[in-house]
Amino acid sequence: MYACAGEASFLALAVATDEQWRGLRAVLGDPPWSAAAALAHHAGRRAAHDSIDEELRRYFAARDRDEAVAALLAAECRPIRS
């Protein structure tokens, strides 16, 4: 669950597939940290969960939730709005 810009605005996000990961990377602007070879597959992302989570917290904190949701849907990621 990630807090977004605005009051009481949150977004829950899970990445289940490598394809969803690539879509999320595109939404994020393909930052250098996301290109690490270990993150290309689920096991590597699982091992790096805490660092990925921190990057995503920073990213979404500066974004409007509805705009983030629209971008994720366009990239075929499946956000859960609350």
pLDDT by residue (tens digit) across 28-68?
999 999 999 999 999 999 999 999 999 999 999 999 999 99
DSSP 51: H
Pairing between strand 80-81 and 2-3? unpaired
User: Which pLDDT score is estimated for 80?
Assistant: 52
Residues 1-25 as b/e (b if ≥16 CB within 10 A, e otherwise) read ebebeeeebebebebeeeebbbbbb
User: Which pLDDT score is estimated for 16?
Assistant: 85
How many structural domains compose the chain? 1
Q: What is the CATH number of the domain that holds 30?
A: 3.30.1540.10
Domain that holds residue 47: 2-81
User: Which pLDDT score is estimated for 38?
Assistant: 96
Question: What is the average pLDDT value for the chain, to the nearest integer?
Answer: 90
User: Which pLDDT score is estimated for 73?
Assistant: 86
DSSP 75: T
pLDDT exceeds cutoff 90 at 79:
no
